[in-house]
Amino acid sequence: MNSAEQVLKNENIFIGEEIIGGIACKIGYIKKFKWSWFATQLNLFVIIGETEKVVDRQMIAAFSENCFDYSIKNNRGWFRGLQSGVGSIAILQASKFDEGAVDFCEKLSKSHWSAFEIPVLYDTSAKKLIRYKKNPIWGMIYFPFFTKTIDHITSRF
Protein backbone atom coordinates (compact mmCIF):
# COMPACT_ATOMS: atom_id res chain seq x y z
CA MET A 1 0.00 0.00 0.00
CA ASN A 2 1.32 3.43 -0.96
CA SER A 3 1.30 6.19 1.60
CA ALA A 4 -1.10 9.08 1.07
CA GLU A 5 1.85 11.44 0.68
CA GLN A 6 3.43 9.26 -2.00
CA VAL A 7 0.13 8.98 -3.90
CA LEU A 8 -0.33 12.76 -3.92
CA LYS A 9 3.31 13.34 -4.90
CA ASN A 10 2.98 10.87 -7.77
CA GLU A 11 0.01 12.91 -9.00
CA ASN A 12 2.05 16.15 -8.67
CA ILE A 13 -0.58 17.67 -6.39
CA PHE A 14 1.01 17.32 -2.93
CA ILE A 15 1.21 20.63 -1.08
CA GLY A 16 1.87 19.62 2.51
CA GLU A 17 0.82 18.16 5.81
CA GLU A 18 -1.46 19.56 8.49
CA ILE A 19 -3.23 18.42 11.62
CA ILE A 20 -6.91 18.92 10.81
CA GLY A 21 -9.41 18.27 13.58
CA GLY A 22 -6.79 16.31 15.51
CA ILE A 23 -5.96 14.01 12.56
CA ALA A 24 -2.64 14.11 10.70
CA CYS A 25 -3.41 14.75 7.04
CA LYS A 26 -1.66 14.88 3.71
CA ILE A 27 -3.02 17.55 1.40
CA GLY A 28 -3.22 17.79 -2.36
CA TYR A 29 -4.42 20.72 -4.44
CA ILE A 30 -5.81 20.79 -7.97
CA LYS A 31 -6.72 23.98 -9.84
CA LYS A 32 -8.83 23.25 -12.92
CA PHE A 33 -10.65 25.47 -15.40
CA LYS A 34 -13.13 24.08 -17.93
CA TRP A 35 -15.32 25.81 -20.45
CA SER A 36 -17.84 22.97 -20.00
CA TRP A 37 -18.20 24.08 -16.37
CA PHE A 38 -19.65 27.34 -17.67
CA ALA A 39 -16.15 28.83 -17.75
CA THR A 40 -15.48 28.32 -14.06
CA GLN A 41 -12.36 27.52 -12.11
CA LEU A 42 -12.48 24.75 -9.52
CA ASN A 43 -9.99 24.85 -6.66
CA LEU A 44 -10.01 21.34 -5.27
CA PHE A 45 -8.38 20.18 -2.05
CA VAL A 46 -7.87 16.45 -1.58
CA ILE A 47 -7.23 15.84 2.11
CA ILE A 48 -6.28 12.37 3.31
CA GLY A 49 -6.22 11.41 6.98
CA GLU A 50 -5.83 8.10 8.75
CA THR A 51 -7.08 6.81 12.08
CA GLU A 52 -6.88 3.63 14.12
CA LYS A 53 -10.25 4.38 15.75
CA VAL A 54 -13.61 3.00 14.70
CA VAL A 55 -15.11 5.69 12.48
CA ASP A 56 -18.68 6.65 13.30
CA ARG A 57 -20.98 9.22 11.72
CA GLN A 58 -19.91 11.97 14.11
CA MET A 59 -16.21 11.41 13.39
CA ILE A 60 -16.50 11.45 9.58
CA ALA A 61 -18.90 14.42 9.70
CA ALA A 62 -16.48 16.42 11.86
CA PHE A 63 -13.50 15.40 9.72
CA SER A 64 -15.32 16.42 6.54
CA GLU A 65 -16.40 19.76 8.01
CA ASN A 66 -12.88 20.51 9.31
CA CYS A 67 -11.39 19.68 5.90
CA PHE A 68 -14.00 21.89 4.21
CA ASP A 69 -13.13 24.79 6.54
CA TYR A 70 -9.42 24.27 5.80
CA SER A 71 -10.15 24.33 2.05
CA ILE A 72 -12.14 27.56 2.25
CA LYS A 73 -9.43 29.29 4.33
CA ASN A 74 -6.62 28.13 2.06
CA ASN A 75 -8.29 28.67 -1.32
CA ARG A 76 -5.69 29.96 -3.77
CA GLY A 77 -8.05 30.65 -6.64
CA TRP A 78 -10.41 33.36 -7.67
CA PHE A 79 -12.95 34.57 -5.14
CA ARG A 80 -15.55 31.91 -4.49
CA GLY A 81 -18.71 32.54 -6.50
CA LEU A 82 -17.12 34.71 -9.20
CA GLN A 83 -16.71 32.05 -11.89
CA SER A 84 -15.01 29.98 -9.21
CA GLY A 85 -15.76 27.21 -6.77
CA VAL A 86 -13.93 25.38 -4.01
CA GLY A 87 -14.03 21.65 -3.48
CA SER A 88 -13.01 19.63 -0.45
CA ILE A 89 -12.61 15.87 -0.75
CA ALA A 90 -12.02 14.53 2.75
CA ILE A 91 -10.71 10.95 2.61
CA LEU A 92 -10.49 9.20 5.96
CA GLN A 93 -8.59 5.92 5.96
CA ALA A 94 -9.41 3.35 8.66
CA SER A 95 -10.06 -0.35 9.07
CA LYS A 96 -13.35 -0.14 10.97
CA PHE A 97 -16.50 1.89 10.29
CA ASP A 98 -20.01 1.81 11.67
CA GLU A 99 -23.11 1.96 9.48
CA GLY A 100 -23.71 5.61 10.33
CA ALA A 101 -20.34 6.60 8.86
CA VAL A 102 -20.95 4.58 5.71
CA ASP A 103 -24.44 6.06 5.29
CA PHE A 104 -23.10 9.60 5.77
CA CYS A 105 -20.63 9.15 2.90
CA GLU A 106 -22.97 7.31 0.56
CA LYS A 107 -25.70 9.98 0.80
CA LEU A 108 -24.30 13.46 0.32
CA SER A 109 -26.42 15.84 2.32
CA LYS A 110 -24.48 19.09 2.68
CA SER A 111 -24.48 21.86 0.14
CA HIS A 112 -22.62 25.15 0.29
CA TRP A 113 -22.56 28.30 -1.80
CA SER A 114 -20.04 27.79 -4.64
CA ALA A 115 -18.32 25.01 -2.69
CA PHE A 116 -18.42 21.25 -2.29
CA GLU A 117 -17.87 19.12 0.80
CA ILE A 118 -17.34 15.47 -0.09
CA PRO A 119 -16.69 12.92 2.69
CA VAL A 120 -15.04 9.66 1.64
CA LEU A 121 -14.02 6.57 3.60
CA TYR A 122 -11.30 4.16 2.57
CA ASP A 123 -11.28 0.75 4.24
CA THR A 124 -7.59 -0.11 4.63
CA SER A 125 -8.23 -3.74 5.55
CA ALA A 126 -10.57 -4.53 2.62
CA LYS A 127 -8.99 -1.95 0.26
CA LYS A 128 -12.47 -0.64 -0.44
CA LEU A 129 -13.69 2.84 -1.25
CA ILE A 130 -16.89 4.21 0.30
CA ARG A 131 -18.23 7.37 -1.33
CA TYR A 132 -21.48 8.85 -2.64
CA LYS A 133 -23.57 6.45 -4.69
CA LYS A 134 -25.39 9.04 -6.81
CA ASN A 135 -24.35 12.41 -8.14
CA PRO A 136 -26.44 15.13 -6.52
CA ILE A 137 -28.34 17.64 -8.61
CA TRP A 138 -26.47 20.62 -7.12
CA GLY A 139 -23.09 20.91 -8.80
CA MET A 140 -23.82 18.07 -11.19
CA ILE A 141 -21.43 19.43 -13.81
CA TYR A 142 -18.48 18.91 -11.42
CA PHE A 143 -19.30 15.45 -10.07
CA PRO A 144 -17.88 13.43 -12.98
CA PHE A 145 -14.56 15.16 -12.26
CA PHE A 146 -14.88 14.53 -8.50
CA THR A 147 -15.68 10.86 -9.12
CA LYS A 148 -12.77 10.39 -11.48
CA THR A 149 -10.39 12.13 -9.06
CA ILE A 150 -11.54 10.15 -6.00
CA ASP A 151 -11.48 6.82 -7.83
CA HIS A 152 -8.08 7.49 -9.36
CA ILE A 153 -6.39 8.59 -6.14
CA THR A 154 -7.84 5.85 -3.96
CA SER A 155 -6.92 3.17 -6.52
CA ARG A 156 -3.28 4.07 -5.82
CA PHE A 157 -3.42 3.20 -2.09
Write the pLDDT tens digit of every residue in 9-64: 999 999 999 999 999 999 999 999 888 788 888 999 999 999 999 999 999 999 99
The rounded distance, in Å, linking the Cα atoms of 78 and 130 is: 31
Question: Is 85:40 a contact under the CB 8 Å cutoff?
Answer: yes
Residue 77 — pLDDT band, cuts 50, 70, 90? low
Residue 111 — pLDDT band, cuts 50, 70, 90? confident
> Averaged over 81-99, what is the pLDDT?
91
> Averaged over 134-145, what is the pLDDT?
84
Question: Is 131:87 a contact under the CB 8 Å cutoff?
Answer: no
Torsion of Cα atoms, 33 then 129 then 13 then 110, to 10°: 50
The string over 96-113, giving b where at least 16 C-beta atoms fall within 10 Å of a residue's C-beta and e elsewhere, is ebeeebbebbeebebeee
* Domain housing 141: 4-154
Residue 134 per-residue DSSP state: S
Q: What is the pLDDT of residue 138?
A: 73
How many structural domains compose the chain? 1
Predicted model pTM: 0.93
